[in-house]
Amino acid sequence: MSLKIECLDVGKSYAGDGVTTNAVQHINLSFSKGEFTSIVGPSGSGKSTLLSLIGTLDSPTSGKILYDGEEIVKKNKKAISDFRFEHIGFIFQQFHLLPTLTALENVLSPLFARKVPYNKIERAKEVLEQVGLSDKENSLPSQLSGGQQQRIAIARAIVHKPDWLLADEPTGNLDTETGERIFDLIQELNQQEGCGVFFVTHDPKLAVKANRMITMKDGMVLSDKKGEFA
Ligand SMILES: Nc1ncnc2c1ncn2[C@@H]1O[C@H](COP(=O)(O)OP(=O)(O)OP(=O)(O)O)[C@@H](O)[C@H]1O
């Protein structure tokens, strides 16, 4: 399946205390499978909101987002959650690993209660190897460095073979060198597995390594550039 994502005049506003915040507005963007897009812009410009909308974690207040022509957020909760399981992987700045589970169990967690056509433990071990942490499968998150924890989070994000990897400032809590290594790993996954990437970052040096760079300002797309920037 080639999962194409189209944002058609997408807007998201939050109402509160008589003030309405337009977190994003008039977003018209289209993404083809396998694209590596960085999203940059000042704090509050709508990057995380856009990512949540694309990831079906939230629904637009205006416009629509189509996935191969289908408006997924209009479906019931189970269908939306199945869609996310099949197509989307998330990585966050704070890793969000479960502290009482080992690295292997964290990687396995998205597969709990899911029927899949492969051996779950073998698959989890395979992705742990891909992120270079086979030797840490029995470690708890507290026994791992920040970079290692993010690698585990990446393994967890790709264990179900998503079409798209949505990364919200995944290097924000890491030092420059570790951040670069995490970026390289995500780029490798993009090239080897063909999964498309959305990479939100405040780091211009990383942003220019993508094939496409979207700059946001005040909830809108200020520029959308494709090509080599580095
Ligand atoms: N749940 C919410 N309720 C009210 N306002 C919100 C909510 N989420 C986001 N906003 C507002 O929407 C705007 C965009 O926020 P968003 O988090 O998308 O920006 P961002 O570019 O990701 O910022 P940062 O770089 O600081 O993470 C901001 O003005 C923010 O205050």
Residue 111's identity, in one-letter code, is L
d(CA 59, CA 34): 24
Asked if the model's pLDDT at residue 185 lies above 80, the reply is yes
Asked if the model's pLDDT at residue 37 lies above 90, the reply is yes
Q: Whose CA is nearest to atom 31 of ligand 1?
A: 44
Residues ≥6 apart with Cβ < 8 Å to 170: 91, 92, 93, 150, 153, 154, 182, 186, 199
Asked whether 25 lines ligand 1 (CB < 6 A), one says no
Asked whether 14 lines ligand 1 (CB < 6 A), one says yes
Q: Tell me the pLDDT tens digit for each residue of 49-106.
A: 999 999 999 999 999 999 999 999 999 999 999 999 999 999 999 999 999 999 999 9
Asked whether the beta carbons of 218 and 21 are under 8 A apart, the reply is no
ipTM confidence: 0.96
Instruction: Label residues 178-205 b or e (16+ Cβ within 10 Å = b).
Output: bbbbbbebbbebbeeeebbbbbbbebee
Task: Report pLDDT for 195.
Answer: 92
Q: Residues of the chain with pLDDT > 90: what percent? A: 91
Asked whether the beta carbons of 206 and 183 are under 8 A apart, the reply is yes
Which residue out of 45, 50, 94, 199 has the highest number of ligand 1 atoms within 8 Å of its CB and is therefore the one to mutate?
A: 45
- Work out the average pLDDT over 107-131: 94
> Separation of 46 CA from ligand 1 center, angstroms?
6
Q: What six digits make up the tokens of 130?
A: 């891909």
Q: Residues of the chain with pLDDT > 70: what percent? A: 98
Three-state secondary structure string covering the chain: CCCCEEEEEEEEEEEECCEEEEEEEEEEEEECCCCEEEEECCCCCCHHHHHHHHCCCCCCCEEEEEECCECHHHCCHHHHHHHHHHHEEEEECCCCCCCCCCHHHHHHHHHCCCCCCCCHHHHHHHHHHHCCCHHHCCCCHHHCCHHHHHHHHHHHHHCCCCCEEEEECCCCCCCHHHHHHHHHHHHHHHHHHCCEEEEECCCHHHHCCCCEEEEEECCEEEEEEECCCC
Task: Report pLDDT for 18.
Answer: 87
Domain 33-48+81-226 CATH class label? alpha beta
Task: Report pLDDT for 2.
Answer: 60
Asked whether 23 lines ligand 1 (CB < 6 A), one says yes
Residue matched to tokens 């990383």:
206
Q: Which pTM was predicted?
A: 0.93
Asked if the model's pLDDT at residue 1 lies above 60, the reply is no
Asked if the model's pLDDT at residue 17 lies above 90, the reply is no
**Which of the four pLDDT bands, split at 50, 70 and 90, describes residue 227?**
confident
> Separation of 39 CA from ligand 1 center, angstroms?
14
Per-domain residue ranges of the chain: 33-48+81-226
Q: Whose CA is nearest to atom 4 of ligand 1?
A: 14
Asked if the model's pLDDT at residue 215 lies above 80, the reply is yes
Asked whether the beta carbons of 90 and 81 are under 8 A apart, the reply is no
d(CA 23, CA 11): 8
